[in-house]
Amino acid sequence: MDNINPSEVKDKNKLIEENKNFIYGCTYKICKRILHWENDDELSIAMIAFNKALDTYNHTKGNFHSYAKVLINNSIIDFFRKDKNNSLLVFDNNEESFTYIDYKNSINQYEIQKESEQRIDEINALKNELANFKLTFTDLINHSPKHIDTRSHLLNIALCCTKNDDISTYIRKNKALPIKQLTVLTGCNRKLLERWRKYIIVLFLIMSNDEYLYLKSYLNIGVGDKNE
């Protein structure tokens, strides 16, 4: 598999589509079962992780696909485990696989199942919210800015929306951004708000719901290499 330099990629959506087999393979290796794009949340998580790899990769991280695989595996394993302190995650360079080494016996399977169910419920709840806005997780991936400064700026805009009752009410009632009000509130130009409106709406929905603990922690915007 040829190495990818995300900074040279012109069509991000096409690149993601071309790498769906790679994303599926990484996910299957962890889940050990047949997966379906339309039903399995693990694949959605893996695709989001691949998109994150595109946003955060630089040449110091080595081969892109190896880097993306690390992010995908970490995201999926984090989806299933209860407490990261219970186990040590080790990367085997020879087999290119992840292995758990337990320090406190095995992790309680019931706790893993309950944690998994809670996180799946959280993802499904967001899916339902997005559907009301005629949006999907694919929209989040396809309409995500590459530059970390832009992502942080849009996060601040979404945060402003959550703190303003009038704007929050407008978004939920009209399923759209009040562009004119936001230009006044944030000082941002109309073109920027219109370009990233889907991304801002998704951030707004996540940040305005206290139950989206996992999704909020996954966003973690502001952490990464400012290499753009």
Query: What is the domain range of residue 177?
Result: 117-228
Residues 136, 213, single domain; the answer is yes
CA angle 216, 59, 17 (to 5 degrees): 60
In a domain, 140, yes or no: yes
* Mean pLDDT per 10-residue interval, the chain, length 228 residues: 68 87 90 86 91 85 86 82 42 42 40 70 89 85 82 90 94 94 91 93 90 73 35
Q: What is the pLDDT of residue 222?
A: 35
The runs of H, that is alpha helices, within the chain are 12-18, 20-31, 41-56, 64-80, 109-132, 137-142, 148-163, 165-174, 179-186, 190-195, 197-207, 213-219
Those residues whose C-beta lies under 8 Å from the C-beta of residue 215, and which sit 6 or more positions away, are 122, 123, 126, 206
Q: What is the pLDDT of residue 161?
A: 94
- Other CB atoms within 10 Å distance of the CB of residue 119: 19
Q: What is the pLDDT of residue 129?
A: 92
In a domain, 112, yes or no: no
Q: What is the pLDDT of residue 147?
A: 83
Q: What is the pLDDT of residue 219?
A: 66
Residues 190, 100, single domain; the answer is no
Q: What is the pLDDT of residue 79?
A: 77
- Among 107, 134, 159, the domain boundary falls at 107
Residues 73, 154, single domain; the answer is no
Q: What is the pLDDT of residue 223?
A: 33
Residues 129, 52, single domain; the answer is no
Q: What is d(CA 41, CA 120) in angstroms, rounded to the nearest whole number?
A: 7
Q: How many domains does the chain have?
A: 2
Q: What is the pLDDT of residue 133?
A: 92
Q: What is the pLDDT of residue 220?
A: 55
Residues 10, 81, single domain; the answer is yes
Q: What is the pLDDT of residue 49?
A: 92
pTM above 0.85, yes or no: no
Residues 97, 142, single domain; the answer is no
Q: What is the pLDDT of residue 210?
A: 82
